[in-house]
Amino acid sequence: MRLTPRGIIFLVAGGVFAIVAYLAGNSLLLLVACLLVALSIIAVLLARFRSMRLVMARSFSPSPVSATTPTTVVLDTANLARISSAPLFWNDTLPWRPLATDPVHLRPLSSQSSDPRSRARLTYTLTPPRRGVFRIGPLAIAYSDPFGLAVGFMTVGGKDELVVTPHVTELPQSGVWLEAPDGAARLVQASGVGNSDDLMTREYRRGDALRRVHWRASARHGELMVRQEEQRAYPEATIVIDTREGGYGDHHGYASLVTGSSVFSRDFEWAVTMLASLGIHLHREGFVVHVTETSERQVIELADAESRVGRENDFLLSLASIHLTREEGTPAAAPAEGPVFAIISEPDRETLEWLLGLRRPFEIGVVFLVGSDRESDTAAELSRSGWRVIPVDYRTSPALAWRVLAEELGATSAGR
């Protein structure tokens, strides 16, 4: 409870009038002083003991929501008291700055439960700044006495979890082909333009079976064309993400395998966003995507290895809560199947040596190196070992990083 500016003026004026009345011996002025002080005290008592029984239910639409995407918060409130509520101002508590929504006026709610005016629906738009699992609430209520001299504060309801998944960036069409050890070409992103035959076919590459030649498309293009959809029988790809605190030099806070994590790293946030975008992209292009982490498993696989049933929602939900850990030692994982995409920043020596041995001979390996350049020791060692190094920073769009990779791989293929 506290007095409003008006209540403070009344109380101060009452004290001043009382002093002047005592010095001047003016009983009328003393009566006015007593009245002003009494009004202030009565206002405080009315605000303090007024029966306020409100209930509230909070919901989000959509939920879960991706980072930087607006969601509508709906607050259904009702008055359970035997008297009408006072004029109210409400705002919802947020876990990030400015820590609360702007105050909004709410009309008095009727005391009759059958009266529609005893309930109210409050809405506002919320834009989560980053991914995570956040607790929104409680609802803060401010109400005053009929004279507007005192104001009381109360909270209604509890906290509700809002799950914010990483923002998935649609990676551009690039026409990148990844070659397997047996000489077959596996599609990462279709780039065909033209009619349906063009979308179904691609140029003949060394190792393609002649039975896959599309003769009608070959006659139109003047070169051998093969059916590309038959080359996409569940190829596999692996995405590696470094989830160790020591692998990111810009981290702040503390991570623990027991108590969870309160660490924030802009480079790690970019890595999670790239993991989400690249994983969804490869999955929709027909790849069975495996996610390998340098610490304990936190990410749900995109698809079941046997049934190939997509689990994109579960995958993104697991990325909402992925965090850095303090795990040390050499990660445990066998050499990866298919092309390997690694997202790292400043891995320690053990992690780097493990990563170098993860790619099978003749398979392509790509490293998105966050916060470093091609001149760094890590980039140089990866390049010497046959990895494609794409330097990025937390401001780089995943689509731009993918486009740079496409240009490098395309140039290499053209050179052969």
303 in the same domain as 207: no
68 in the same domain as 32: no
Reading the chain (416 residues) residue by residue, the pLDDT tens digits are: 888 899 999 999 999 999 999 898 888 999 999 999 999 999 888 887 776 789 999 999 999 999 999 999 999 999 988 888 887 899 999 998 889 999 999 988 988 777 888 899 999 999 999 999 999 999 999 988 878 899 988 999 999 999 999 999 999 865 555 544 444 444 454 333 344 455 467 788 766 667 778 888 888 888 888 876 544 445 888 999 999 999 998 887 754 433 345 678 999 999 999 999 999 998 888 788 999 999 999 999 887 655 556 689 999 999 999 999 988 888 877 777 789 999 999 999 999 999 999 888 878 899 999 998 888 899 999 999 999 999 999 999 999 999 999 888 764 443 33
CATH of the domain at 370: 3.40.50.410
Residue 358 lies in a domain: yes
309 in the same domain as 269: yes
In terms of residues, how long is the chain?
Answer: 416
Residue 180 lies in a domain: no
Residue 350 lies in a domain: yes
200 in the same domain as 311: no
Residue 9 lies in a domain: yes
Domain total for the chain?
4
Handedness of CA 194, 195, 200, 204 (dihedral sign): negative
367 in the same domain as 265: yes
CATH of the domain at 156: 2.60.40.10
| Residue tagged 């995943």 (tokens) | 398
212 in the same domain as 140: no
Q: Are the CB atoms for 166 and 320 separated by under 8 Å?
A: yes
User: What would the DSSP string read from start to end of 6-52?
Assistant: HHHHHHHHHHHHHHHHHHHT-HHHHHHHHHHHHHHHHHHHHHHHS--
Residue 183 lies in a domain: no
408 in the same domain as 345: yes
Residue 172 lies in a domain: no
Whole-structure pTM over 0.85, yes or no?
Answer: no
223 in the same domain as 156: no
146 in the same domain as 63: yes
45 in the same domain as 97: no
Range of the domain at 210: 192-227
212 in the same domain as 322: no
Residue 353 lies in a domain: yes
Which class for 410: exposed (0-12), middle (13-18), buried (19 or more C-beta within 10 A)?
Answer: middle
From 9, 309, 277, 269, select the one nearest 129 (Cα to Cα): 269
244 in the same domain as 129: no
